[in-house]
Amino acid sequence: MNGWQCPDWCAADHQCTVRQGSPAGVHRSDPIRWTTAYGSLVAVRNRDLSGRDWLEVHAHARLGERSDVPTQEQASRPAVEVDLAIRRSVLPKVKTRPAIPRGGRG
């Protein structure tokens, strides 16, 4: 399959800029939407003409519903946790060494 042909998951409508003939075009899926306890998530799959795939995820989270956590912390914590979750999902596992070898030092 060449990159100009829409894959089966592509929306193949105005969302797909490959169909408009742009060499910088991107195949895009229909958005997948989830309503969550905190707001919503929207995910879109993408592929450029070189075959590179990526996922866009947009999150909408209400802030200020917890009085025990400052609003600024409520705003920054999800970004850190989303980053960690994506790293676990898409990056190869990195073998780590314990800071202190088994059996202790020396």
Binding site for Zn ion (CB under 5 A): 6, 10, 16, 18, 27
Q: Which residues contact 30 (CB under 8 A, 6 or more apart)?
A: 11, 15, 44
Q: How far is the CB of 7 from Zn ion (least distance, A)?
A: 7
Label residue 51 exposed, middle or buried (CB < 10 Å: 0-12, 13-18, 19+): exposed
Residue among 16 and 45 whose Cβ is closer to Zn ion: 16
Q: Which is nearer to Zn ion, 10 or 45 (CB)?
A: 10
Cβ distance to Zn ion smaller for residue 6 or 63: 6
Shortest gap between Cβ of 13 and Zn ion (angstroms)?
9
Is 37 in contact with 59 (CB distance < 8 Å)?
Answer: no
